[in-house]
A and B are shown apart, each in its own frame.
Chain A
Amino acid sequence: MKNKTFRKAEPYIWILPSIILMAIFILVPIVFVFRMSLSEVSKAGIIRGFSGFANFTKVMNSSAFKLVLRNTIVWTVAVVVLSTVLGFILALMLNNEFRGRKIARAIMVFPWATTLVIQASAWKFIIDTDYGTLNTLLLRLGIIDKAINWTPTAGAYFTWEIACGIFVTIPFVTFCVLSGLQSIDTSYYEAATVDGASYWQQLFQITMPLVSSSLTVSTVLNIIYVFNSFPIIWTITKGDPANHTDTLVTYLYKLAFYNGKQGQAAAVSVIGFTILLICASVYMVYTLRKGDD
């Protein structure tokens, strides 16, 4: 009898440490954020009492928020879409046998392994107008004869930040797709070639369907990462000038830790993960439906 109860309880003992860890450091913070978003919070972070949706209305009515939300969407969509397309093409290329393939693969690991703050500092230095190496390089090569201001506007800064985001995201896509590509049985292609299928036909009718699962994994994870990405923007512009390069995460960081508006920052957090949750459920519904077919 005792043995039986132990058997039933056993799995829960095994997962208990993990549950405790995640409960304290993820679940409790989530609860706090939700509570704070619905409360009046003092500058020191003390919850003063229920205030309904006051924080949300304050956030939504501020002119900065609309800009920030737009930036976040542009940032996420541009980085995820472009890095997925470029990463996919790169994976197709790396899937060929050629000399130096191992070296090429090793080099492409670099941006993935490097911490984003350092990546971003390097790019900030490269594009600097006065002493950046991009200008130096182009001047030395004789391509330009006067230093170019690469970041004349906030929009230009934001574009460079997106470029930096794409740069660091490509390797992840490439390696995910590559692992999918390498698990495809070559006999499919041999059969298709015998049947006279062109390269493009093979790409769309054999390759794409078979790597779609690795592509979905990388895309879903990238949407989450890029949406929540903080260091690139923080290092290059800190969201300046006047919120023109802010995304939700840099905006909420400033609200909470610079302006002492923790309640509003919590509201921005809640809005942020509501958006992600909608994206995730769309994805879930889509994949579940595909599973049914």
Chain B
Amino acid sequence: MTKKPGSLKKLILRILLYAVIFVVCIITLYPYFAMFCTALKSRAEIFSMEGTILPITSLWSNFLDIWHRAPMANYLFNSLLIAGGSTIIAMLCGIPAAYALARMKFKGQTIFLGFVIVSQMFAPVVLLIGIYKVMSILSLTDSIIGLVFINAAFNQAFTIWLLRGTFIGISVEMEQAATIDGCNRIQGMTKVLLPVAAPGIVTTLIFIFINAWNEYTVALCLISTSEREPLTVGINIFNGYNMIEWQYLFAASLFAIVPVVILFMGIEKNLVSGLASGGVKG
């Protein structure tokens, strides 16, 4: 007698859970679905009075047209260059710093960590005027190298934060044993610590790559030559002042989205636990 209402309540809750999750998933996917459908439509169909959700005739050629209507290959290559370069520099600077914070004790350690955390508060957009000035001095405005360094710098906080958490989570004993066997610090790090820390390092790497790939504001402000723009800025060539070529804009957008979403799915779990644990230990 007492069991029945309980299980009915459970069933209702279960159905409710599925229903809500289902609706949330539909809403989440809707913009992507709309983009995809629109990317397949002709201009006339998009602006027609009798609008449809699905394209009446699928113009797969839109996905090809964008390559000669805009320097898409350049955009793609620039995005790769910016994201790849930023990741390499951020890691080259971040790994030693995170290592020092995790394994050594030195004066000014807290100040350094404090600066790293505070630096997060300064998004590039609020510093754009200052950044622009620094870039003019270094004659790096309108250059991809400039964007690489800026992205690397603004991702340092995350890099150090995530890697420091990863390194702290790994016991020092193996490195100490390696030192007794005659390894120096650098060998101890590269041969013992880094292989063990590989999952954390890969997560960090991909995260920086995605951040730099998705960066928009600084590139918008600094780059003035169309051929040097990354995808995020370049695709707006279809977003004209008077006329928006939605079909091309979305076809090009999908090229910018797909690789990143796949990468992100791979690291999501590690990334979040890294963020949270770094936070607890900080």
- Which A residues have a C-beta under 8 Å from some C-beta of B? 8, 10-12, 14-15, 17-22, 24-26, 28-33, 36, 45, 90, 93-94, 96, 98, 100, 103-119, 121-123, 125-126, 130-131, 133, 135-137, 139-140, 167, 175-176, 178-180, 183, 213-214, 216-217, 221, 224-225, 228, 230-231, 234, 248-249, 252-253, 256-257, 262, 265-266, 269, 272-273, 276-277, 280
Contacts and interface: CB of A to CB of B under 8 A. Distances in A.
B59 interface: no
B169 interface: no
A175 B268 contact: yes
The 8 closest A-B pairs by CB, nearest first: A29-B130, A228-B123, A25-B153, A113-B264, A32-B130, A115-B214, A14-B100, A18-B97
A182 B254 CA distance: 33
A131 B46 CA distance: 7
A230 B246 CA distance: 22
B129 A265 contact: yes
B257 interface: yes
A18 B261 contact: no
Interface string B121-137: 11101111111111010
B249 interface: yes
B97 A15 contact: yes
Given A94-B21, A111-B28, A115-B214, A126 B34 contact: yes
B38 interface: yes
Interface string B1-30: 000000000000010011011001101111
Contacts of B32: 110, 122
Contacts of B250: 121-122, 125
B276 A36 contact: no
Interface string B141-159: 0000000011011101000
B66 to A, nearest CB: 14
A90 B153 CA distance: 34
Contacts, number: 259
Interface string B37-48: 110000000111
A22 B153 contact: yes
B257 A115 contact: yes
Question: Could you say which interface size class chain B belongs to?
Answer: 35 or more
Given A22-B153, A22-B156, A121 B249 contact: yes
B106 A12 contact: yes
Given A10-B104, A109-B261, A213 B34 contact: no
Contact of A25 (B21, B134, B265): B134
Nearest to B31: A122
B280 interface: yes
B88 to A, nearest CB: 12
B258 to A, nearest CB: 10
A180 B246 CA distance: 41
Interface stretch (B68-76, B112-120, B172-180, B195-203): B112-120
Nearest to A96: B17
A36 B249 CA distance: 38
B221 interface: yes
B121 A11 contact: no
Given A21-B149, A25-B134, A93 B104 contact: no
Contacts of A253: 125, 128, 217, 221
A29 B149 CA distance: 13
Given A22-B116, A167-B28, A253-B217, 16 more contacts: A18-B96, A21-B93, A25-B153, A26-B127, A32-B133, A100-B21, A114-B257, A116-B214, A125-B34, A126-B34, A176-B276, A221-B120, A249-B123, A269-B126, A273-B122, A280-B118
Nearest to A250: B125
Most buried by B among A11, A93, A110: A11
20 contacts: A18-B156, A26-B122, A26-B127, A30-B130, A33-B126, A36-B130, A108-B25, A113-B263, A116-B216, A118-B256, A122-B253, A131-B46, A131-B47, A133-B37, A136-B53, A167-B27, A213-B276, A217-B276, A221-B120, A224-B123
Contact of B160 (A18, A94, A125): A18
A109 B276 contact: no
Nearest to A106: B265
Contacts of A272: 126
Given A10-B104, A133-B53, A179 B272 contact: yes
Contact of B34 (A122, A214, A249, A257): A122
A140 B53 contact: yes
